Amino acid sequence: MIKFKKKVQYYFKQIFQLVFILIYGNIKYERNGIISNNIIKKKIENIVSDIKGSKNYFSYKVKNGRVYTDYVEHVAIIDGNTLVNDASYQQVSGELKNAKENIVLNKGTPRVKKKINGRVLSLVQGASGNKNYFHWVFDILPKIKLCSEHYLLKEIDFYYLPNLQNFQKQTLSIFNIGEDKILDSNLYRHIQASELIVVDHPWYQRGFILDQVEFLPSWIIHWLKDVYLKYAKKFDSNEKIYIDRTESKFNHCQIQNDNEIFNFLKEKGFSKYKVGELSFFEQIYLFNNAKIIIGAHGAAFTNLAFCKPDTKIIEIRPLIYKNYQNNNYKRISQINNLNYRLIETKKLDESQKKFGDIYLPIKELEHCLKSFG
């Protein structure tokens, strides 16, 4: 019965895709890239990455341009029925792929097309840009800065974005981007705008994303601080912070002996914070006001971007992360001149991970604290 259902689902998808190919046509791939008068590709002169080997940034304006997203791994920018290679995005199993592997070349654009009269800035990126706090702050928001180098934000009629969480709405509010200007990519997976604007990714240009994230360009952090620090919302907070990740629905980077760790830190004057329960502007204040921050690897450390120089940081993560070289928070600390330490705990067997994949002996934490002098 299960096999039969799977076969029915498979054939339904095939018919579904075929119908939309008949309506909108096949999407073509041109090896030589942009060949249309409908597209203006323009170099962004005033923003340059300080990472060796990085490419220049470009903006793309496509007359009557189309966007299709599968909401997970692929974003296709389309001129007529031709894929705009450089402006499209395909991150498959964590690796950036060539445009010739974009899903629309095989499956077309199997969603009803929503026509938009006006100038639309596309900020969709697949799953990583949907609800992930780090990728929203370091991938999506900097695209607004890149766009503003060529276009005034008041000249953008609509922003093509995923279904927004509260923290995302808060980050956009300072640009006067309200809900009336948002096109929800969850509702409209396929749109066509009379004028479509796209910009390059601010740092991800090749390879596996977890390998490349340590090459964040410094301009992103300088821009984030310049734009957002003035909006920090003051509240009664401690300067010694322990990040509580128990709110996370994921088991990874959970500390099994969290209570033991906090009781030890509490005696040293620390307070515990569930960062995700704070507003975006409160998070900025919390981290900017801190003198020392300790916690397990997680999205809350994105806010290291707002810390003052010499803030002490202890990031805790399981040793398995060495396989992925996920050094994004170390890189942020370098740019911001923070006093960063990393504790990598011993790898646990699967049978030991029921309550998390981190067990941190108090002596290790105590030794790390003493290393600050």
CA distance 304 to 230: 16
Domain limits of the chain?
A: 19-210, 232-370
Share of the chain above pLDDT 90, in %: 75
CA distance 288 to 302: 12
pLDDT of residue 110: 92
Read off the pLDDT band of 328 (50, 70, 90).
very high
User: For 199-240, how does the pLDDT look when each residue is reduced to its tens digit (9 = 90+)?
Assistant: 999 999 988 887 888 889 999 999 999 999 999 999 999 999
| Contact status, residue 46 vs residue 145, Cβ threshold 8 Å | no
pLDDT of residue 31: 83
Angle at 325 between CA 334 and CA 306, to 5 degrees: 30
243: enclosing H helix or E strand: strand 240-243
Work out whether the CA dihedral 126, 130, 131, 135 comes out positive or negative.
Answer: positive
| 62, 252, 257, 312, 371 from 349: Cα distances, Å | 52, 13, 16, 31, 29
CA proximity to 58, closest of 76, 42, 38: 42
pLDDT at residue 7 greater than cutoff 70: no
SS3 content of the chain, % helix, strand, coil (to 5): 40, 25, 40
Read off the pLDDT band of 3 (50, 70, 90).
low
pLDDT of residue 43: 97
- Beta-ladder partners of 292: 240, 312
- Beta-ladder partners of 41: 60
Angle at 186 between CA 118 and CA 220, to 5 degrees: 75
The tokens describing 50, both together, are 């300080």
pLDDT of residue 17: 79
CA proximity to 343, closest of 329, 355, 360: 360
Average pLDDT over residues 41-61: 95
Average pLDDT over residues 89-100: 93
| Contact status, residue 362 vs residue 259, Cβ threshold 8 Å | no
Read off the pLDDT band of 12 (50, 70, 90).
low
pLDDT of residue 75: 97
CA proximity to 101, closest of 119, 126, 83: 83
Which CATH number among 3.90.920, 3.40.50, 1.10.101, 3.90.1200 corresponds to the domain 232-370? 3.40.50
pLDDT at residue 14 greater than cutoff 60: yes
Average pLDDT over residues 171-181: 96
Average pLDDT over residues 327-339: 96
Read off the pLDDT band of 262 (50, 70, 90).
very high
Q: How many CA atoms lie within 13 A of 115 on its CB side?
A: 4
pLDDT of residue 365: 96
Q: Which of 74-78, 98-102, 263-267, 353-357 has the lowest mean pLDDT?
A: 353-357
Read off the pLDDT band of 20 (50, 70, 90).
confident
pLDDT at residue 355 greater than cutoff 80: no
If you ran DSSP here, which 8-state letter would residue 229 be given?
G
Q: How many CA atoms lie within 13 A of 358 on its CB side?
A: 30
Read off the pLDDT band of 148 (50, 70, 90).
very high
Question: What are the DSSP calls for 284-327, one per residue?
Answer: HHHHHH-SEEEEESSGGGGGGGGPPTT-EEEEEEEGGGGGTT--
- Write down the mean pLDDT value for the chain: 91
pLDDT of residue 25: 86
DSSP alpha helices (H): ranges in the chain? Answer: 2-24, 104-107, 133-135, 141-148, 166-173, 209-212, 218-228, 258-266, 280-289, 328-336, 362-370
User: For 104-127, how does the pLDDT look when each residue is reduced to its tens digit (9 = 90+)?
Assistant: 999 999 999 999 999 999 999 988
Question: What are the DSSP calls for 197-217, one per residue?
Answer: EEE--SS--SSBHHHHGGG--
